[in-house]
Structure 1
């Protein structure tokens, strides 16, 4: 092979390699390379993720996400606030790049999005009137006592309740925690169903009218893992995000960042992987 031909072959090799690398880069990696912001999407779900008075991202999921991105060297962040039911559709449609709203990893969701490794472990709980007059402590109680349950549109509690035998006719779906609070306070629903942290937060806003039930009364199957959702095409970025998150989770810096939202050592995710949770939840 003469020198001229060798140079042409080498040039073609570099071009093919470059095209292959570009083909494997997801939409988010392309945005970052072109200098665009990373758009994080979330709803108003205190203490998971919500906007402050200046529309800035707060809540423990946002705190962890921003901490990990900072470790990766990224600080060009854009906030997109949506309703809970719009998190996965908004991610899929390209409205934002990461859903930091406090989504549980569920098999049904794993078919639509790619989750980062878990960042918190939580259990379901009910919101009931003070004193729990109807004695509702879990989904089985709601089913057998014919109680009306309220939860958010798209919440995983809908699946859990149905597994326990609660029919559709006993499940009221509303946009979010404000409406859950109103439904239980007014008596339109006997119990609100959410994760324990959210139950505690919502009950705390009722002025003593409501309380959160003991999460230990729920079956172990209601234990869930919170994660951040990405588009399936951004798996290249998710791998790098997971590497950075592994180094950040549980550090003094992280624990200080989430302390104000009630996140403590009990909520650390443990050793379960996103792959395991996708297969088992």
Structure 2
């Protein structure tokens, strides 16, 4: 009986050891990579964050950053997928692409739907207004008090910000993206357009009849951190991405890769973690 018992213990121990060495199930992105398929990066037309060039070539500093991290991990088979901003999170969840590179702010509402990488930058917003700023709009309280019409992009963080500041829904216009925001302000359909400061500067280059408001006039809580978006099911890949990002972020190679798009060391994210940003934004 004793020998039978010991054999049973030995067998059980071997089974436990074998189970312990079984790797965690790979997510859908690792499955694609191991099958020799591409890493599909999703982004909209958001200059200078992430936007398509000729033949949908991925341009912009968020794309350059993401591709830089992926290349450092040994992944060079990268496929761009261009969609509207409002389609980024739904497209990721529907497996139409694998990564959101588009320069997306890490927000609590978004953290409930997707997983973000460690922050890759810290950024503020601004408004575009008609030249001379005839209604004197610098912040959300100005919009609220003056009954002004505010235009921004569908799915943009500025919709939540306007609501938090008490701007009535009836005064907020949602359009697909920057081109439509600019058109609404220039045509007089809106008094101010809410975009990131980088986007506002780019729009001001396109039209000499608009100007950019001072980003410091917006509340401090509107300062945001950007992360790269992944499916929750791909947290195995995200963990490896974060390890590579930690080595790439702020490096000489990274600053060289993003320099042409205006990203500087002043945009580096500091010490805030994704967990902190998810809980505080």
TM range (shorter): over 0.9
**Is the Cα–Cα contact under 8 Å of residues 204 and 210 in structure 1 kept in the other structure?**
no
**2:271 alignment counterpart:** 271
| Cα offset, 1:199, TM superposition | 1.1
Is the CA contact 1:151–1:158 (under 8 Å) kept in the aligned structure 2? yes
Q: Structure 2 stretches of 5 or more lacking a match?
A: none
Shift of 1:271: 0.7
What is the DSSP-based 3-state SS (H/G/I as helix, E as strand, rest coil) of the residue aligned with 1:54?
A: helix
Match in the other structure for 1:224: 224
Any idea what the Cα deviations from partners look like across 1:90-118, whole Å, max 9, x if unmatched? 00010000011111000000000000011
TM-score by length of 1: 0.93
Report what 2:177 is aligned to: 176
Cα distance in 2, alignment partners of residues 76 and 277 from structure 1: 31
Q: How does 1:241-256 map to 2 (within 5 A)?
A: 241-256=241-256
- The answer for the alignment partner of 2:75 in structure 1 is 74
Deviation at 1:67, TM superposition (A): 0.3
Measured in 2, the distance between the counterparts of 1:22 and 1:36 equals 21
The answer on whether the counterparts of 1:204 and 1:211 sit within 8 Å (CA) in structure 2 is: no
Match of 1:162 in 2: 163
- Residue 43 of structure 2 corresponds to residue 21 of structure 1: no
Larger Rg: 2
**Which deviations, in whole Å up to 9, do the C-alpha atoms of 1:155-198 show, x marking residues without a partner?**
00000111111110110000001100100000000000011111
Structure 1 unaligned blocks of 5 or more: none
Helix, strand or coil for the counterpart of 1:136?
coil
Paired with 2:237 and 2:110, the residues of 1 have a C-alpha distance of 19
3-state DSSP of counterpart to 1:132: coil
Q: 1:38 to 1:6 in 2, by over 3 A?
A: farther
CA distance in 1, matches of 2:87, 2:18: 40
CA offset at residue 266 of structure 1? 1.5
Backbone CA RMSD of aligned residues:
1.9
| Corresponding residue pairs, total | 277
Aligned to 1:144: 145
Equivalent-residue separation in structure 1 for 2:98 and 2:113 (angstroms): 14
Is the CA contact (8 Å cut-off) linking 1:97 and 1:230 kept in structure 2? yes
User: Aligned with 2:127: secondary structure?
Assistant: strand
Cα-to-partner distance string for 1:7-63 (whole Å, 9 max, x where unaligned): 987985676456x4142x211111111211100000011011000022110100000
Name the counterpart of 1:109. Answer: 110
Q: Which residue of 1 aligns with 2:53?
A: 52
TM-score of the superposed pair, with normalisation by structure 2: 0.93
SS at match of 2:229: strand
